[in-house]
Amino acid sequence: MTARPALARRALAEFLGTGLLVTVVVGSGIAAQRLSADVGLQLLENSTATVFGLAVLILLLGPVSGAHFNPVVSVADAILGRRTRTGLPGRDLAVYIVAQVAGGIGGAVLANLMFQIPTAISITERVTAGTLLGEVVATAGLVLLITGLTRAGQTLPVIAAAVGAYIGAAYWFTSSTSFANPAVTIGRVFTDTFAGIAHTSVLPFLAAQILGAAIGVAAAVVLFTPSAPVGSHPAAAVSKETLA
Amino acid sequence: MTARPALARRALAEFLGTGLLVTVVVGSGIAAQRLSADVGLQLLENSTATVFGLAVLILLLGPVSGAHFNPVVSVADAILGRRTRTGLPGRDLAVYIVAQVAGGIGGAVLANLMFQIPTAISITERVTAGTLLGEVVATAGLVLLITGLTRAGQTLPVIAAAVGAYIGAAYWFTSSTSFANPAVTIGRVFTDTFAGIAHTSVLPFLAAQILGAAIGVAAAVVLFTPSAPVGSHPAAAVSKETLA
Amino acid sequence: MTARPALARRALAEFLGTGLLVTVVVGSGIAAQRLSADVGLQLLENSTATVFGLAVLILLLGPVSGAHFNPVVSVADAILGRRTRTGLPGRDLAVYIVAQVAGGIGGAVLANLMFQIPTAISITERVTAGTLLGEVVATAGLVLLITGLTRAGQTLPVIAAAVGAYIGAAYWFTSSTSFANPAVTIGRVFTDTFAGIAHTSVLPFLAAQILGAAIGVAAAVVLFTPSAPVGSHPAAAVSKETLA
Amino acid sequence: MTARPALARRALAEFLGTGLLVTVVVGSGIAAQRLSADVGLQLLENSTATVFGLAVLILLLGPVSGAHFNPVVSVADAILGRRTRTGLPGRDLAVYIVAQVAGGIGGAVLANLMFQIPTAISITERVTAGTLLGEVVATAGLVLLITGLTRAGQTLPVIAAAVGAYIGAAYWFTSSTSFANPAVTIGRVFTDTFAGIAHTSVLPFLAAQILGAAIGVAAAVVLFTPSAPVGSHPAAAVSKETLA
């Protein structure tokens, strides 16, 4: 067992990673809205940039802080790793969440600055029964994915690419365009542009995300109990090689 | 030889995986249709989301159930592995197919719910001589691909990415947009949106898919006999490294 | 040294691979032209499908035949491997080229059939000074890429993804949309659709491709002499790990 | 410690790599502008081709020269590697920069030739407070990414894909479309097309890039000190496997 990097360094990584993730989401949303007329095309440009940006940030900062960039991922990590004492301790968890939320806000402001748009509170209401269900599904899937890939022993480059790809799909298959992240949701309040979200929509979105995360954790526990033998099926056998 | 996960867990993985695959296909189709005007752009958004979603689902659930998500893939697995007793036994095969079809229907309903569209039977007729040939080609290619990569010993991340990429191409190079999957075909009956298919088109599509799967199995047997020596050609030599 | 698969099996792989590559190019071109109005968007749909299809075909058939799918690649392989007796012998080379050209034609006919378009000779003239220079550049880059990656010992999944990505770029950065392949060029004569090429343009394109291939081989010999020590630069050191 | 390839060969690789990178950027920009009407779609075509082209060039030429293709990357390499004597020596650095700038100009001219456009000086002014901030952010991120991935011991294929993906995001999330490279900036003066930049914008862009590179180096030193223990967090543990 090796020591973790100092908490301050990990907090910086979470601040930077969450921040730049929001900068990518908000900035590419502004660029898309300025340059394209078709709303679907705008979303395709926005989601493509996010796939690339998110995967790269996880790959880069994973070795420093684990690259959570998301309070529900940090909480899931703390809960699932409690029994084996490999999860985030309570104090670290609090620091992670503060760094993530601060990063999310900072990232939105940075995007506004680059595009010379005054920072303002978004007026885009996003809450409907459908979008809340979308957030539940999107967050459950995200937490299941991260937990499952980690338990199966996939490498960091594979996990990074998979999480980016997942969000690229979830932009489109959920009705909420998949926020799935409380820190990013709060950060996106601070831009009145394509990717913004009204502050009145935040609490319902956060509640849906927390519910989704709980479902994701439960699904991961059922499907990927650490002691579960891996199947002898050819495809499963292949995957074991990657665990070796 | 390790034990396989319990059948119930594998069935859950097949149900979830096939279900979420249909949710991705149907949900992103609805979003694309709402947001974009150009039909080709709608299909590009739909196919891009599917590439990402399918690859991620295979990567995530491969270690649990083999990530078939497709009755013809499960049947091919059972047939090709019979001699070496590594294929799915008959009872497992039946459970897999039931889980896949139930998942496919559930996935369509979930997408309808997220986008607040009533679940209704599709009226999109898709059968022509051309689309049936397209389904034969698409399914033959899919079965050949999965069998060939498994026999060549590729790792799960590579197989997952390759199957996603294959479907991304087949959306475009076949005239049917490549269903290539009986469970997904049945599921897509239950949404009267972009990705829907009329129930009257289902049986011809299933027949074409079964024919295609048979051709794919035959081609795989000819090209990838397990005992075939791998060539000394540089590119082949490279590939052997990945098998080591 | 292991034996190569039988020549007949390798010829079948070259026939199938080149054929399906042309089916992807032609088929996705027809779909794009039918579904989208903007010509650039049509080309983006066409090039995206080709990136996916080409990478998958190389990955699948590389272990069987080396996945050349291209007469100039086979010729380069024969020439560069002559001294070390690892290249294609003369008889194999002739069989490869016949299989590739027959595949290319068959692939165009299959695409026409799927989209229920009569097979007809294309009337799309493509020769200008600019497009011929484009073919020289595109083919030189392709041959340099394949040779360089092989000499550097990259794995098949990496080579497959890289060749697909290269063609995805070359569709756009060359003025000819990058045919870069005599067998594919001949095959694309047999469809009067988006991806077709008039028979009168074939010979100049082939001449440009052969010139480009010669330049690519020369560049590869200069940059990647097999005995060249690999640098101690960090990035180079990293790459050596992948060669281990 | 192995010897580096001869400086002449490395200079040729930097010339070719930077040149072809600019050919990809400029050429795909011309094609996009000719074929598409929507400016955002043009940028999507341009950025997609660049992602593919840049990743392929780094993968191909990394083993020869380290694949910098960028004066600020070479300078960062020289500075960061000075203490351990693994960085570029002064004479090599000068040769690299000359090769990169010459390549950048040659690449723009080649693109103009392929598309039969006279080489002319761009008149596209790009300087605003926002775009300069964009260049600072884009270059800081690029230098941090390359340094961090190298220090974490990622393999060349992963680094190549990540740098390509980063630029694909930065085209969209920065307001400047992310030049982030003095040699490419100078090269893009020599084409009066989509990707061109007026010579009057060059010096401010270079100043912003140098400032960004300094920030990127500082961030990398803080986050990735070579002696820093890698964390015991699951995701970090996974990443250590890739370093083994």
* Averaged pLDDT of chain C: 92
For residue C48, the chain B residue with the least C-alpha distance is: B169
Q: Decide if pLDDT at B144 tops 90.
A: yes
For residue C226, what pLDDT is reported? 61
Query: What is the mean predicted confidence (pLDDT) over B111-140?
Result: 98
Query: What is the mean predicted confidence (pLDDT) over D24-28?
Result: 98
Query: What is the mean predicted confidence (pLDDT) over C183-187?
Result: 98
Within 8 A of A43 by CB-CB distance, chain B residues are 31, 35, 45
User: Per-residue confidence at C230, pLDDT binned at 50, 70, 90?
Assistant: very low
Rounded to whole angstroms, how far apart are CA atoms D48 and D44?
6
Q: Decide if pLDDT at B242 tops 60.
A: no
User: Per-residue confidence at C242, pLDDT binned at 50, 70, 90?
Assistant: very low
- Are C93 and C76 in contact, with CB atoms under 8 Å apart? no
For residue D86, what pLDDT is reported? 86
Confirm or reject contact between D110 and chain A (CB < 8 A). Answer: no
For residue D3, what pLDDT is reported? 65
Sign of CA dihedral B20, B25, B26, B27: positive
Query: What is the mean predicted confidence (pLDDT) over B136-156?
Result: 97
Q: What is the DSSP string of B117-147?
A: ------------HHHHHHHHHHHHHHHHHHH
Residues 6+ apart with CB under 8 A from D235: A62, A66, A67, A150, A156, A159
Query: What is the mean predicted confidence (pLDDT) over A173-195?
Result: 98
For residue C231, what pLDDT is reported? 41
Residue B194 in tokens:
């972009």
CATH 3.40.190.10 fits A7-226, yes or no: no
Q: What is the percent of chain C with per-residue pLDDT over 70, rounded to a whole number?
A: 91
Confirm or reject contact between A242 and chain D (CB < 8 A). Answer: no
* Averaged pLDDT of chain B: 92
- May I ask the CATH class of domain C7-243? mainly alpha
Query: What is the mean predicted confidence (pLDDT) over D85-108?
Result: 96
Rounded to whole angstroms, how far apart are CA atoms D96 and A142?
44
Query: What is the mean predicted confidence (pLDDT) over D2-20?
Result: 92
For residue C241, what pLDDT is reported? 33
Taking only the tens place, the pLDDT of each residue in C208-217 is 999 999 999 9
Query: What is the mean predicted confidence (pLDDT) over D139-153?
Result: 97
Q: Decide if pLDDT at B235 tops 60.
A: no
Torsion of CA C201, C203, C208, C213, to 10 degrees: 130
User: Per-residue confidence at C155, pLDDT binned at 50, 70, 90?
Assistant: very high
Interface test with C, best of D14, D58, D60 (most C CBs within 10 A): D60
Residues 24-83 of C with CB under 8 A from B: 24, 26-28, 31-32, 34-38, 41-42, 44-46, 48-50, 52-53, 55-56, 59-67, 77, 81
For residue C225, what pLDDT is reported? 77
Q: What is the percent of chain A with per-residue pLDDT over 70, rounded to a whole number?
A: 91
User: Per-residue confidence at A145, pLDDT binned at 50, 70, 90?
Assistant: very high
User: Per-residue confidence at C3, pLDDT binned at 50, 70, 90?
Assistant: low
Q: Decide if pLDDT at D155 tops 80.
A: yes
Q: Are D60 and C238 an interchain contact pair (Cβ–Cβ within 8 Å)?
A: no
For residue B92, the chain A residue with the least C-alpha distance is: A233
User: Per-residue confidence at D226, pLDDT binned at 50, 70, 90?
Assistant: low
Q: Nearest by CB to B172, which of C28, C61, C159?
A: C28
Q: Are C242 and D55 an interchain contact pair (Cβ–Cβ within 8 Å)?
A: no
Query: What is the mean predicted confidence (pLDDT) over D54-75?
Result: 98
Q: Decide if pLDDT at C232 tops 50.
A: no
Question: Whole-angstrom distance between the N-terminal and C-terminal Cα of chain D?
Answer: 19
Subunits adjacent to chain A (3 or more Cβ pairs under 8 Å):
B, D
Confirm or reject contact between A220 and chain D (CB < 8 A). Answer: no
User: Per-residue confidence at A5, pLDDT binned at 50, 70, 90?
Assistant: confident
Taking only the tens place, the pLDDT of each residue in C46-97 is 999 999 999 999 999 999 999 999 999 999 999 999 888 889 999 999 999 9
Residues 6+ apart with CB under 8 A from C148: C220, C223, C224, D60, D61
B223 CB neighbour count, 10 Å cutoff: 23
For residue C83, what pLDDT is reported? 82
For residue B82, what pLDDT is reported? 87
**How many CB contacts within 8 angstroms connect chain C with chain D?**
178
Confirm or reject contact between C141 and chain D (CB < 8 A). Answer: yes
Query: What is the mean predicted confidence (pLDDT) over C156-180?
Result: 98
Q: What is the percent of chain C with per-residue pLDDT over 90, rounded to a whole number?
A: 87
Rounded to whole angstroms, how far apart are CA atoms A196 and B198?
38
Instruction: Indicate the SS3 state at residue C152.
Output: coil
Query: Could you tell me which residue, B183 or A4, shows the higher pLDDT?
Result: B183
Sign of CA dihedral A32, A38, A43, A44: negative
Query: What is the mean predicted confidence (pLDDT) over A167-195?
Result: 98
Which residue from C11, C20, C22 is spatially nearest to C187, judged by alpha carbons?
Answer: C22
* Averaged pLDDT of chain A: 92
Interface test with B, best of A128, A144, A172 (most B CBs within 10 A): A172
For residue A86, what pLDDT is reported? 86
Give the global pTM.
0.93
Rounded to whole angstroms, how far apart are CA atoms B130 and B128?
5
Interface test with D, best of C48, C145, C172 (most D CBs within 10 A): C172
For residue C236, what pLDDT is reported? 38
Q: What is the ipTM of this complex?
A: 0.92
User: Per-residue confidence at D42, pLDDT binned at 50, 70, 90?
Assistant: very high
Q: Are B173 and C24 an interchain contact pair (Cβ–Cβ within 8 Å)?
A: yes
Taking only the tens place, the pLDDT of each residue in A208-235 is 999 999 999 999 999 997 644 444 333 4
Q: Are D219 and A16 an interchain contact pair (Cβ–Cβ within 8 Å)?
A: yes
Q: What is the percent of chain D with per-residue pLDDT over 70, rounded to a whole number?
A: 91
User: Per-residue confidence at D175, pLDDT binned at 50, 70, 90?
Assistant: very high
C150 CB neighbour count, 10 Å cutoff: 21
For residue D84, what pLDDT is reported? 83
Sign of CA dihedral A65, A68, A72, A78: negative
Query: Could you tell me which residue, C241 or D46, shows the higher pLDDT?
Result: D46
Residue ranges of domains in chain C: 7-243
